[in-house]
Amino acid sequence: MAKKKTKKPADPHGEFRGQRTEADQERRIVIDDAARTPTVLYFGSGIFWLLVGSLFGIIASLKFNLPDWLGSSAALTFGRIRPAHLNTVMYGWASLAGAGMIVWLTARLCRIQLQLAWVHYLAVILWNLGVLAGTVAILAGYNQGMEWLEFPRFAGAMIAVGFLLFAASIIQTFRKRNVDHLYVSLWYILASMIWFPFLYVVANLGIYQGVIQAAMNWWYGHNALATWFTPIGLAGAYYFIPKVIGRPIYSYYLGLLGFWAFALFYNWNGIHHLVGGPLPTWLVTVSIVASVMMVVPVMAVAVNHHLTTVNHFRMLKFSPTLRFVVIGSMCYTAVSVQGSLESIRSFQEVAHFTHYTIGHAHLGVYAFLSMILFGAIYYIMPRLARWEWPYPGLIKAHFWMSIAGIGIYVIALTVGGWFQGVQLNDPAIPFMDVVEYTKVYLWARSIGGALMVVSHFIFAFQFVMIIKHAGPRRFAPALFRESAPMQREEREP
Amino acid sequence: MMFIRSFLFFFGVLATVLLGWAALVGVPDFMVSEIQPPEGLQRYTEEQLYGRSVYIREGCMYCHSQQVRPEGFGVDQERFWGRPSVPADYVFDKPHLLGTMRTGPDLMNIGVRQSSIDWHLVHLYNPRIVVPGSIMPPFPWLFVEKLSAGPNDKVITLPDSLAPEGKVVVAGRDANALTAYLLSLDRSYPVAQGKPDTTKKK
């Protein structure tokens, strides 16, 4: 995509080194104004589902510790509340908050006001109704029976139409762009506008049966990450790290390599969820190979992000956005390398079917994706609301509680899950002894989960405050410490 | 120029996702579509199918797998969970219930391993009555409390601490159907073992 030789291909429009002319400021204000309502609606409903979803999560986790607690309530039994958790946090929180970030980012990167802004009102309504209807259906017992595809078809259809409307506006904004160079974040965004609707519609058609349905299930399950959730996270990291630091991304060409390797390998990964299962050997092997090949795009992205950050680590002391996003991008590297290892047969022999996998999933969706979304919201909201975050102390509390929470959670399940797998593979150990062994780790998981839930309520409280222009008025950005070194973009309107 | 680049971009992006679908779903579907059900595999009866829908409704598959690993990969045989599963075992399964977790044991052959209806009913009512230390949820809403049992009612025997005063607990339609489904899970019939997924060297 870079036939034209620009001197600084990573930053031809001065988005990151910042031309600080008044015309630039004006332009950004106009663009932000046009994107305001859709973005805030997506963020707001996303955060609502984050609260609902994480409450489901903590209830599900506590049910491992206290299996008879709420034991007579059918709607709250583990087997219903667990899929309700997954679907609300994925299709509610991560998708909607991600959509908000994409709306704002696309307008900024295309240097044009959001086009077809009105479709987002419809999209938000359909999407939220879809998630609501699907969640109620699961709790009421109408589960489609496949992981990641539990929502009944009518709920799935609402989400699909919502997504298509949302994508139409994004693509139209892209077509009207005022730039001749497309920044890396935009590639991921545009690609996911094509990938995800195809994936979601094919998966929801329900035309398969038996083992092929299992293959389709995990082709979808893993590709939901590949075609939608990971692109959101990477688009965010590629934008906010250089933006806050005030320097362009380390290498444009690594970005290019990373993107196309990502596009080629990621969507062949899914069948590694069925290693050792009753499927043709070659099929599983293909997925393992593709999973290991993911090291290429992951390393390209890792080098790009981390070499942009290196030498600027002290900025992490000041900028909440940077802290969340850099942690998120580090966890992306970690979870991806872990994922490649995990796909290998001798590793799967132990880790598959255990809590280890649950730890891995949360390292990805929480420590990588959600952290980047938190960072993005902390960055975007003051610019849209024209009001600074009133309580920097609460941002700090959110950060440390969520970090401590996910840390405890992932470490407990990784260690506990691994030894669970080792014991399951020792026939001398009775099954119930293995269950007994995991119990202490399942308690640790609940403690970590509780910390995350509390941090989400702190975050949601502050989100309400900034929308209502409530709390103490601040005239400078809410940083962790005053007199920060990043005077440029953090101080821009 | 910009148009060509945009076209190449969108074309490339579309091609990658179509390739992935073709390789992981399309081609395998074509290959497996010829599979015949093994002689020993029965179609589910109506009651078993209803029980299967209860299994899905209550989310059993989030903690129980239905796939036995091949020889040399894990120790499923030593745990007496059955012979390695093959694609033909699943021809009647829609949706598939292979599962990804073993918080509880594999259920591919639970009907062989535990064939007592009474055990299953009590276990579903509250697992800790028969398996101390179990972390499985109780499913009391599958049962009905009655003043006295009717002629066709399946009464479950509860310890005094859990029995409701002056009433009996009988299995409801859902509990009976779910039990019928669990008992139908018997894949002990012989199959031609193709090449299982065992390329890992021990």
Q: What is the pLDDT of residues B137-157, one digit of tens each?
A: 999 999 999 999 889 999 999
Token look-up 């970005």 returns: A255
In the predicted model, what is the mean pLDDT of residues A158-176? Answer: 96
Q: Which residues of A touch B92 (CB under 8 A)?
A: 210
Query: What pLDDT is recorded for position B36?
Result: 86
Q: How far is A150 from chain B (nearest CA, A)?
A: 10
Residues of A in contact with B135 (CB under 8 A): 64-65, 67, 435, 439, 442
| Contacts of A224 by beta carbon, 8 Å cutoff, 6+ apart | A90, A148, A196, A199, A200
For B24, which of A147, A287, A353 is closest by C-beta distance? A287
Section A396-415 average pLDDT: 98
Measure in Å the smallest separation between the Cα of A217 and chain B Cα atoms: 9
Q: What is the pLDDT of residues A59-84, one digit of tens each?
A: 999 999 999 999 999 999 999 999 99
Task: Look at residue A19 in the predicted model and tell me its pLDDT.
Answer: 57
Alpha carbon distance A135, A456 (integer Å): 20
A109 pLDDT more than 70: yes
Inter-residue contact B35 to B87 (CB < 8 Å): yes
Residue B109 phi, psi (nearest 5): -130, 35
How does DSSP classify residue B100?
S
Chain A, nearest residue to B23 by Cα: A268
Binary contact (A212, B29; C-beta < 8 A): yes
Using DSSP, state whether A181 is helix, strand or coil: coil
What is the helix (H) or strand (E) element at residue A436, kind and residue range? helix A431-467
pTM for the full predicted model: 0.94
pLDDT for A124 equals: 98
Confidence band for A11, pLDDT divided at 50, 70 and 90: low
Q: Note whether A211 and A279 are within 8 A (CB).
A: yes
**Pair A261, A201: CB distance under 8 Å:** no
pLDDT at A278 over 70: yes
Specify the amino acid at residue B57: R
Distance CA A278, CA B196 (A): 7
Tell me the C-alpha distance between A218 and A221, whole Å: 5
Using DSSP's 3-state secondary structure scheme, residue B101 falls into strand
- Chain B CB contacts of A418 under 8 Å are none
Which of A267, A273, A278 is the closest to B100 by Cβ? A273
Q: What is the ipTM of this complex?
A: 0.93
Question: What is the predicted pLDDT for the residue at A17?
Answer: 65
Residue pair A327/A378 in contact (Cβ under 8 Å)? The answer is no
| pLDDT tier, B1 (very low <50, low <70, confident <90, very high otherwise) | low
Please indicate whether, in this complex, the C-beta atoms of A260 and B69 are within 8 angstroms of each other: no
Predicted confidence (pLDDT) at residue B48 exceeds the cutoff of 50: yes
With 90 as the cut, is the pLDDT of residue B30 above it? no
Task: Tell me what pLDDT residue A493 has.
Answer: 37
**Residue ranges covered by each domain of chain A:** 20-181, 312-493
pLDDT recorded at residue A181: 85
pLDDT at B4: 84
Q: Letter for the amino acid at B142?
A: L
What pLDDT score does A349 carry? 97
Pairwise CB contact (< 8 Å): A219 & B25: yes
Q: How far is CA B55 from the centre of its chain?
A: 8
In angstroms, the separation between the Cα of residue B27 and the nearest Cα of chain A is 10
Q: What is the pLDDT of residues A281-308, one digit of tens each?
A: 999 999 999 999 999 999 999 999 999 9
Cβ proximity of B99 and B67 under 8 Å = yes
Q: What's the pLDDT score for residue A12? A: 62
Percent of chain A predicted with pLDDT > 70:
94
Residue B31: predicted pLDDT:
83
A101-105, A264-268, A280-284 — which one is most confidently predicted on average? A101-105
Average pLDDT taken over every residue of chain B: 91
Decide which of 1.20.210.10, 3.40.47.10, 3.40.50.300, 1.10.3720.10 is the CATH code for A312-493.
1.20.210.10
pLDDT (tens digit per residue) in B72-109: 999 999 999 999 999 999 999 999 999 999 999 999 99
CA-based nearest distance B113→chain A, Å:
14
Alpha-helix residue ranges (DSSP H) falling in A4-118? 22-65, 78-87, 95-110
pLDDT the model gives residue B194: 59
Using an 8 Å CB-CB cutoff, list chain B residues near A255.
Answer: none
Residues of B within 8 A of A268 (CB-CB) are 19-20, 23-24
Closest CB to A267: pick one of B16, B70, B138: B16
- Give the closest residue to B101 by CA, choosing from B145, B135, B57: B135
Phi, psi of A41 (to 5 degrees): -65, -45
User: Does the pLDDT at position A486 exceed 70?
Assistant: no
Mean of per-residue pLDDT scores for chain A: 93
* pLDDT at residue number A284: 94
- Cβ–Cβ gap A281/B95 under 8 Å: no
pLDDT at A18: 59
At A118-128, the pLDDT tens digits run 999 999 999 99
Confidence of residue B49 (pLDDT cuts 50, 70, 90): very high
Residue A209 pairs with which residues in a beta bridge?
Answer: none
Give the pLDDT mean for A148-156: 96
pLDDT at B107: 98
State the count of interchain CB pairs (< 8 A) between A and B: 223
CA dist A416 and A409 (Å) reads 10
| CA–CA min distance A67, chain B (Å) | 5
Asked which of A152-156, A414-418, A486-490 is least confident by mean pLDDT, the reply is A486-490
